A = this chain, B = another copy of it.
Amino acid sequence: MNLVDVVVIGSGPAGYTAAIYTSRSNLKTVVFEGYLSGIAGGQLMTTTLVENFPGFSDGVMGQDLMLNMKKQAQRLSVDVLAEDAKSVDLKVHPFIVKGSKTVFQAKTVIIATGASAKRADIPGTSDGEFWQKGVSACAICDGAAPIFRGKEVFVIGGGDSAVEEAIFLTKFAKKVYIVHRREKLRASDIMVKRALSNPKIEVLFNSEVISVLGDKIVTHVVLKTGDSQKEEKREAAGVFFAIGHEPNTAFLNGQLKLNDQGYIIVKAGGTCTSIEGVFAAGDVQDYRYRQAIVAAGSGCMAALDAERWIEEKGIC
Interface residues of A (CB under 8 A from B): 13, 16-17, 20-21, 24-26, 51-60, 65, 68-69, 71-72, 75-76, 140, 144, 164, 167-168, 171-172, 190-191, 194, 268-270, 288-289, 291, 293-301, 304, 307-308, 311-312, 314
Contact = CB atoms under 8 A, between A and B. Distances in A.
Nearest to A65: B55
B291 A294 contact: no
B294 A293 contact: no
Contacts of A13: 54
B194 A312 contact: yes
- Contact residues of A: prevailing secondary structure: helix
Given A26-B172, A72-B55, A304 B269 contact: no
Contacts of A270: 288
Q: State the number of copies, please.
A: 2
Nearest to A50: B55
Contacts of A59: 72
Contacts of A57: 68-69, 71-72, 75
A57 B65 CA distance: 9
Contact of A293 (B56, B289, B300): B300
Contacts of A299: 54, 293
B58 A56 contact: no
Nearest to A67: B57
Contacts of A54: 13, 16-17, 20, 68-69, 72, 296, 299
A301 B58 CA distance: 22
Nearest to A307: B168
A167 B296 contact: no
